[in-house]
Structure 1
Amino acid sequence: MDAEVIVVGAGPAGLMLAGELRLAGVKTIVLERLAERTGESRGLGFTARTMEVFDQRGLLPRFGDVETSPVGHFGGLPVDFGVLDGAHQAAKTVPQSKTEEVLEAWALELGADLRRGHEVVKVLDGPDAVAVEVKGPNGVQTLRAPYLVGCDGGRSTIRKAAGFDFPGTAATLEMFIADVKGLDLDPAMTGSTYSGGMVMVGPLPDGVTRLVLCERGNPPKRRTTAPGYDEVVAGWKRVTGQDISAGEPIWVTAFGNATRQISEYRRGRVLLAGDAAHIHLPAGGQGMNTSVQDAVNLGWKLASVVRGKAPEALLDTYHEERHPVGRRLLMNTRAQGLLLLSGSEVQPLRDVLTELIRYEDVSRHLAGMVSGLEIRYELDGGRHPLLGRRMPHLELAGADFKASVPDLLHAGRGVLLDLTDNEVLRRRAAGWTDRVDIVTAEPHGLRADSPLAGTTAVLLRPDGHVAWAAPGSHGDLPMALERWFGPAR
Structure 2
Amino acid sequence: MHDQSSLPYDVVVAGAGPVGLFLACELRLAGLHVLVLEQARDPHSALKQLPFGLRGLSVPTLEAFHRRGLLEEIEAAQQRASGAIKSAAHWMQQTRRPAGHFAGIQFYQDAIDAVKWPWRLPTPADANVAVDMETLESVLAARACSLGVEIRCGLGVNAITASDNEVSIEAAGETFRGRWLVGCDGGRSTVRKLSGFDFVGTDPEFTGYSVEIELADPEKLRPGRNYTPAGMYTYAQPGTIAMVDFDGGAFHRTGPITREHVQSVLRNVSGTDVTINALRLAATWTDRAHQATTYRKGHVLLAGDAAHIHSPLGGQGLNLGLDDAMNLGWKLAATIRRQAPADLLDTYSRERHPVGAQILDWSRAQVAIMRPTPSARALQAIIRDIVETRDGATYFAERVRGVSLRYDLGNGHPLVGRSVPDFELLDGTTAGERLRTARGILLDFDARAPLQALASRWGGRIDYVADEPKDRLSLSAVLVRPDGIVAWASDGAPDHEEAAQAASRWFGDSTAARECP
Same fold (TM over 0.5): yes
The alignment's C-alpha RMSD in Å is: 2.4
Partner of 1:449: none
2:151 aligns with 114
User: Letter of the aligned partner of 1:20 in structure 2?
Assistant: E
> Given the alignment, which residue of 330, 341, 357 partners 1:327?
357
Alpha-carbon displacement from aligned partner over 1:237-286 (angstroms, at most 9, x marks no partner)? 3322263625663x321111111111111111111001011111111000
Q: Which has the higher helix share?
A: 2
SS state of the match for residue 429, structure 2? strand
Verify: 1:12 aligned to 2:18, yes or no.
yes
Q: Displacement of 1:441 after TM fit?
A: 1.1
- Cα deviations by residue, 1:186-243 (Å, 9 ceiling, x for unpaired): 642xx3111121112357xxxx864211123364236277634553333223322263
Which of 496, 505, 508 matches 1:483? Answer: 505
Cα offsets for 1:345-379 (capped at 9, x unmatched) = 31111112222223322222221111111110011
Corresponding residue number in structure 2 for 1:79? 107
Ranges of 4+ aligned residues in structure 1 off by more than 6 Å: 181-185
Q: 1:462 to 1:210 in 2, by over 3 A?
A: farther
Query: Residue 416 of structure 1: CA displacement?
Result: 0.9
Q: 1:51 aligns with which of 62, 77, 87?
A: 62
Q: How does 1:123-142 map to 2 (within 5 A)?
A: 123-135=160-172, 140-142=173-175
1:159 aligns with 2:217: no
Distance in 2 separating the partners of 1:226 and 1:62: 38
Change (3 A) 1:393 1:337: same
Answer whether contact 1:8 1:149 (CA < 8 A) is retained: yes
Q: Provide the residue aligned with 1:197 in structure 2.
A: 231
Of 134, 138, 160, which aligns to 1:97?
134
Gaps of 5+ in 2: 1-6, 83-91, 513-517
1:396-435 alignment, distance < 5 Å: 396-397=425-426, 401-435=427-461
Percent identical: 36
Deviation at 1:49, TM superposition (A): 2.4
* 8 Å Cα contact 1:70-1:89 kept in structure 2: no
- 169 and 230 in structure 1: CA distance in 2 versus 1, 3 angstrom threshold: same
1:312 is displaced (CA, Å) by 4.0
Q: 1:317 to 1:253 in 2, by over 3 A?
A: same
The answer to whether 1:262 aligns with 2:292 is: yes
Q: Is 2:211 the partner of 1:178?
A: yes
Alignment of 1:74-473 (within 5 A): 74-81=102-109, 82-84=112-114, 85=117, 87=123, 88-89=125-126, 91=128, 93-135=130-172, 140-179=173-212, 187-188=223-224, 191-202=225-236, 210-217=240-247, 219-221=249-251, 223=253, 227-240=257-270, 241=272, 243=274, 245-246=276-277, 249=280, 251-382=281-412, 384-397=413-426, 401-444=427-470, 446=471, 452-471=472-491
CA contact (8 A) 2:259 2:278 kept: no
Q: Is the 8 A contact 1:257 1:280 kept in 2?
A: yes
CA distance in 1, matches of 2:135, 2:275: 27
d(CA) in 2 for partners of 1:316 and 1:465?
16
Following TM superposition, by how much is the alpha carbon of 1:180 offset from its aligned partner in structure 2, in angstroms? 5.5
Aligned-partner SS, 2:9: coil
Structure 1's unaligned 5+ residue stretches are 447-451
2:66 pairs with 1:32: no
The answer to whether the Cα contact below 8 Å between 1:51 and 1:91 also exists between their aligned partners in 2 is no
Pick which of 474-483 and 98-107 moved more. 474-483
Aligned residues: 468
- Cα drift, residue 305 of structure 1: 0.7
Most deviating of 54-63 and 352-361: 352-361
Larger fraction in strand: 1
| TM-score normalised per structure 1 | 0.89
Counterparts of 1:231 and 1:443 in 2: how far apart (Å)? 60
